[in-house]
Chain A
Amino acid sequence: MLSVRNLSVTFTLYAVGLTQRELTVITDLDLDVAAGEVMAVVGASGSGKSLLAHAVLGILPPNATVSGEIHFKGDLLTPARQTALRGKEIALIPQSVNYLDPLARVGPQVRRAAYLNGQNKRVATEAQARVFKRYGLAQRVAQLFPFQVSGGMARRVLVSTAAVGHADLLIADEPTPGLHPEVVQETLRHLRELADEGKAVVLITHDIEAALQVADKVAVFYAGTTVEVAPAADFAKGATTLRHPYTQALWRALPQHEFVALPGAQPSPDALPPGCLFANRCPLVTPACQTARPALRPLRSGLVRCIHA
Chain B
Amino acid sequence: MLKGEQLAFRYGADKPWILHQIDIEIAPGEAVGLSGPSGQGKTTLAKVLAGYIKPTAGHVTVARQPLPIRGYCPVQLIFQHPELAVNPRWRIDQILHEGFSPPIALLDALSIDSNWLTRWPHELSGGELQRLAVARALGPGTHYLIADEMTAMLDANTQAQIWQVVLAHARQHHLGLLVISHEAPLIKRLCDRVINLPFPTAPSILPTG
Chain A's closest residue to B164 (CB) is: A261
| Across-interface contacts of A208 in B (CB, < 8 A) | 156
Instruction: Write the nearest CB–CB distance from B85 to chain A, whole angstroms.
Output: 15
B157: which of A44, A46, A152 is its contact (CB, 8 Å)?
A44
B66 contacts the other chain (CB 8 A):
no
A300 contacts the other chain (CB 8 A):
no
On whether the beta carbons of A255 and B160 are closer than 8 Å, the reply is yes
On whether the beta carbons of A44 and B127 are closer than 8 Å, the reply is yes
Q: With A and B bound together, what is the CA distance between A280 and B153 in angstroms?
A: 24
B209 contacts the other chain (CB 8 A):
yes
**Residue positions of B touching A, CB distance < 8 A:** 36-39, 80, 111, 113, 115, 125-128, 149, 152-161, 163-164, 182-186, 188-190, 209
| Across-interface contacts of B153 in A (CB, < 8 A) | 45, 174, 177-178, 206
A264 contacts the other chain (CB 8 A):
yes
A180: which of B37, B80, B155, B164 is its contact (CB, 8 Å)?
B37
Q: With A and B bound together, what is the CA distance between A31 and B181 in angstroms?
A: 32
Q: What would be 30 A-B contacts, judged by CB atoms less than 8 Å apart?
A: A43-B155, A44-B154, A45-B125, A45-B126, A45-B153, A45-B154, A46-B127, A178-B153, A180-B36, A180-B38, A181-B184, A182-B37, A183-B38, A206-B154, A209-B183, A209-B185, A254-B156, A254-B185, A255-B185, A255-B188, A255-B190, A261-B157, A261-B158, A261-B160, A261-B164, A262-B157, A263-B111, A263-B161, A265-B111, A265-B128
**What is the predominant secondary structure among interface residues of chain A facing chain B?**
loop
On whether the beta carbons of A140 and B38 are closer than 8 Å, the reply is no
A42 contacts the other chain (CB 8 A):
yes
A-B contact count (CB 8 A): 101
Chain A 173-208 against B: per-residue CB contact (8 Å), 1 yes, 0 no?
010011111111000000000000000000000101
A260 contacts the other chain (CB 8 A):
yes
Q: With A and B bound together, what is the CA distance between A151 and B44 in angstroms?
A: 13
On whether the beta carbons of A250 and B38 are closer than 8 Å, the reply is no
Chain A 37-79 against B: per-residue CB contact (8 Å), 1 yes, 0 no?
0000011111000000000000000000000000000000000
Interface residues on A, range: 35 or more
Instruction: Write the nearest CB–CB distance from B79 to chain A, whole angstroms.
Output: 11
B37: which of A183, A249, A261 is its contact (CB, 8 Å)?
A183
Query: With A44-B127, A45-B127, A265-B111 in contact, do A206 and B38 touch (Cβ < 8 Å)?
Result: no
| Across-interface contacts of B158 in A (CB, < 8 A) | 44-45, 261
Chain A 130-160 against B: per-residue CB contact (8 Å), 1 yes, 0 no?
0000000000100000000011110000000
| Across-interface contacts of B185 in A (CB, < 8 A) | 209, 254-256
Q: With A and B bound together, what is the CA distance between A260 and B160 in angstroms?
A: 6
Instruction: Write the nearest CB–CB distance from B162 to chain A, whole angstroms.
Output: 8
Q: With A and B bound together, what is the CA distance between A181 and B126 in angstroms?
A: 23
A253 contacts the other chain (CB 8 A):
yes
Q: With A and B bound together, what is the CA distance between A309 and B209 in angstroms?
A: 58
